[in-house]
Amino acid sequence: MAEVLEVNEQNFDSEIAKAGKPALVDFWAPWCGPCRMMHPVIEGVATDVGDKAVIGRCNVDENQGLAQRFGVTAIPTMIVFKDGEQSSTMIGVTSAEDIKKKLDIA
């Protein structure tokens, strides 16, 4: 079972930007109800995609620099990165199917 990586300002470049495979980062905060609703969805996606993609979670309260770097103004925001570049963005509660389509790892 793949685990959801805790992404922060210190490990973003090594774990996400240079991952060598698609990556998803869920920008969230503990006080955000919809964010908490997304936790089991994100964990399910991580299990489903296994080692084909990196799935991470970034607490915006603790990593405001990353949120600013990627223009996160609402949460939950999920950003897909491919080859280290921002590929697509999903804002709000999103289905696992939609997330996996954006990762495009069939």
Per-residue pLDDT reduced to its tens digit, 7-17: 999 999 999 98
pLDDT in the model for residue 1: 53
- Please say if the pLDDT value at position 104 is more than 60: yes
Selecting among 25, 35, 41, 79, the annotated active-site residue is 35
Q: How far apart are CA 28 and CA 51, in angstroms?
A: 23
For residues 27 and 58, is the Cβ–Cβ distance under 8 A?
yes
Structural domain of 37: 5-103
Using pLDDT thresholds of 50, 70 and 90, give the confidence band for residue 84. confident
- Please say if the pLDDT value at position 77 is more than 60: yes
CATH of the domain at 72: 3.40.30.10
For residues 57 and 25, is the Cβ–Cβ distance under 8 A?
yes
Selecting among 2, 4, 32, 96, the annotated active-site residue is 32
- CB-based burial, 60-86: b 16+ in 10 Å, e otherwise: beebeebbeebebeebbbbbbbbeeee
Per-residue pLDDT reduced to its tens digit, 21-75: 999 999 999 999 999 999 999 999 999 999 999 999 999 999 999 999 999 999 9
Q: What is the number of structural domains in the chain? A: 1
Is residue 35 annotated as part of the catalytic site, yes or no? yes
